[in-house]
Structure 1
Amino acid sequence: MLLILGYLGIFACVFGGFMMAGGEIGVLIQPIEVLIIVGSAFSAFIASNSLNTIKAALAGGIGTLRPSRYNKEYYLDLLLSFNALSQKARKEGLLSLERVADDPEGCMIFGERIVSDRHLMEFICDKLRLILTGVDAALLEDLIDAEIEAHHDNCHVPIRAVQRVGDGMPAFGIVAAVMGVVHTMESVGIPPAELGKLIAAALVGTFLGILVSYGFVSPVAALMEERLEDESNAYRCAQKGLLNCAKGTSPPMTVEFMRTAIPYQVRPGFFELEDYLKSSKG
């Protein structure tokens, strides 16, 4: 929603300002320039990336239109889930977590928001299986750190692909402008009024390339980067819970370790979390 509001603001400021200065908005409507710039940029995007990267970039770009799932309610669900998981491990032993790892949906441990996060759920279940093997906690931490880093690097690939499209838009705008100038130069015999329209159309190419780059594509890449950080923070929070389960830490301390790993803007307060755990238990 904020992305759309930002886009509307860009339209209002750029085109509204142009019209307030006395400009004719019809001069900026150049479908051929749009075809050259956007079509060439998208074709270069396809040519320079694998199919998996293209799919991930498109999915990530569309996903920026939706609000982030990693809000306070999500983290409350995650904390509640690990509170129940830690209690189960302390009461019934670590071996009781085998069923949880094999059937996370049927065990009724994890909340709906966590179960629907397929990638995080796979991450948690895989690490629970490692815990069941009796792996050392320090070794488990190193392993999780390596996996989070690899996941983070892998998810950066589509973000870089989108950013490269944004970086290339001004250059394609120059290409469209140069082609417009070439067309203008071959039409020097026409009346000055018509010649002026051709020059204006050529200059619109540079304008559109810069506007689409910095006003529309680059914000999507920046927002995808922010969403990736949100996802990584959820993994780090789950990491704290898994490590404390492996160490046999008490449920309250496990949850508190996890709470401190949550970004401040979505972190539930101490008493807020306590009330949530009590109400859920009830």
Structure 2
Amino acid sequence: MNAILGLVVTIGMVFGGYLLAGGHMEIIMHALPFEGMMIGGAAIGAFLASNDFNTIKHTGGDLMAAITGPKWKKTDYQDLLCLMTELLNVLKQNPVDIEAHIEEPQSSDIFQKYPKILKDHDAIEMICDTIRSMLMNFDNVHQVEELLEKHLESLLEEKQHGSHALQNMADALPALGIVAAVLGVIKTMASIDKPPEILGGMIGGALVGTFLGVFLAYGVVGPFASRIRSIRAEEHFFYSMIGEVLVSNLHKNPVNICVEVARRHAPARVRPSFNEIEQAVRGLKQAA
């Protein structure tokens, strides 16, 4: 909701200040549909031309995320640590038993306890592939860390495609605003024989294009791109925690130490406390 609130404040302050300074909205409202069509249409067309279908689809989801906030909440981080606790306990007790869970996670009674995580392809793929590598005696800690690091880097880069595409659009909007303004000036020059009051209105309408391009770039699209970038960066900690648990396990640490190392890696805003994790794990043991 912060994104919506910020947008409302921006629009209110800009146009409120304009009106308080004695400005009139008639010229802006008259020119806005045409200037908006030229600038917005050109920006959308350039966006479609410069991005593939997956990026376009991800950008739609990114815009929703900018309004709703990060996907992973505090309870999800707690669920992830509980999930990793259960998997590591099975792995330590009998490595053969873990194969059924990682080969068919959709049918695993452990994964099914955490439906939100189970629906996330990236999290499940990272967990299952890394444990599968460990079962193949791929237990060189530094190699696993390097693999996970590259996996996480590529995952973050993919998640940031939407924000990069929007930032490119924001960078182009001021120039597109100038294009619309120049077209307005051309139109004005074709009517140079008109009275000054009419020419003044036409020049004012042309300048709306410059205003709209700059306003959309720095007041709307740019902030949304920045918001999306920060959201995806925060969500990335969720996947990084998976790597922290598994690498710590390769260092032969007890399960509770592996989980604690990962817990401290979570963002402070959504980090479950030590006692919350301990109580959740105790609840798992009692249910078993």
TM-score by length of 2: 0.91
Aligned in 2, Cα 1:215/1:281: closer, same or farther, shift over 3 Å? farther
Q: How does 1:190-209 map to 2 (within 5 A)?
A: 190-209=194-213
List runs of 5+ in structure 2 lacking aligned partners: none
Question: RMSD of the TM alignment (CA)?
Answer: 1.7
Q: Distance in 1 between matches of 2:146 and 2:179?
A: 49
Q: 1:278 aligns with which of 264, 278, 282?
A: 282
* Partner SS state of residue 57, structure 1: helix
Cα distance, 1:141 vs structure 2: 1.3
Residue 145 of structure 1 is matched in structure 2 by: 149
Q: Distance in 2 between matches of 1:188 and 1:161?
A: 41
Does the CA contact (< 8 Å) of 1:3 and 1:64 recur in 2?
yes
Does the CA contact (< 8 Å) of 1:76 and 1:273 recur in 2?
yes
Does the CA contact (< 8 Å) of 1:90 and 1:248 recur in 2?
no
Residue 55 of structure 2 is matched in structure 1 by: 53
Does the CA contact (< 8 Å) of 1:86 and 1:250 recur in 2?
no
Structure 1 position 102 matched with structure 2 position 103: yes
Q: How does 1:102-121 map to 2 (within 5 A)?
A: 102-110=103-111, 111-121=114-124
Q: Distance in 2 between matches of 1:281 and 1:7?
A: 48
Does the CA contact (< 8 Å) of 2:65 and 2:71 recur in 1?
no
Q: Distance in 2 between matches of 1:188 and 1:201?
A: 15
4+ residue runs over 6 A deviation:
none
Does the CA contact (< 8 Å) of 1:89 and 1:97 recur in 2?
yes
Residue 239 of structure 1 is matched in structure 2 by: 243
Cα distance, 1:214 vs structure 2: 0.8
Residue 79 of structure 1 is matched in structure 2 by: 81
Does the CA contact (< 8 Å) of 2:181 and 2:207 recur in 1?
yes
Structure 1 position 23 matched with structure 2 position 23: yes
Pairs aligned (count): 281
Residue 135 of structure 2 is matched in structure 1 by: 132
Cα distance, 1:280 vs structure 2: 4.4
Q: Distance in 2 between matches of 1:242 and 1:104?
A: 17
Residue 252 of structure 1 is matched in structure 2 by: 256
Does the CA contact (< 8 Å) of 2:78 and 2:277 recur in 1?
yes
Q: Distance in 1 between matches of 2:223 and 2:120?
A: 25
Residue 4 of structure 1 is matched in structure 2 by: 4
* Partner SS state of residue 64, structure 1: helix
173-182 or 60-69: bigger deviation: 60-69
**Cα deviations across residues 72-92 of structure 1 (Å, max 9, x unaligned)?**
11111111111111222222x
Q: Distance in 2 between matches of 1:47 and 1:138?
A: 42
Q: Distance in 2 between matches of 1:187 and 1:280?
A: 79
93-102 or 106-115: bigger deviation: 106-115
Structure 1 position 212 matched with structure 2 position 213: no
Please tell me the residue identity of whatever aligns with 2:88.
Answer: S
Residue 184 of structure 1 is matched in structure 2 by: 188
TM-score by length of 1: 0.93
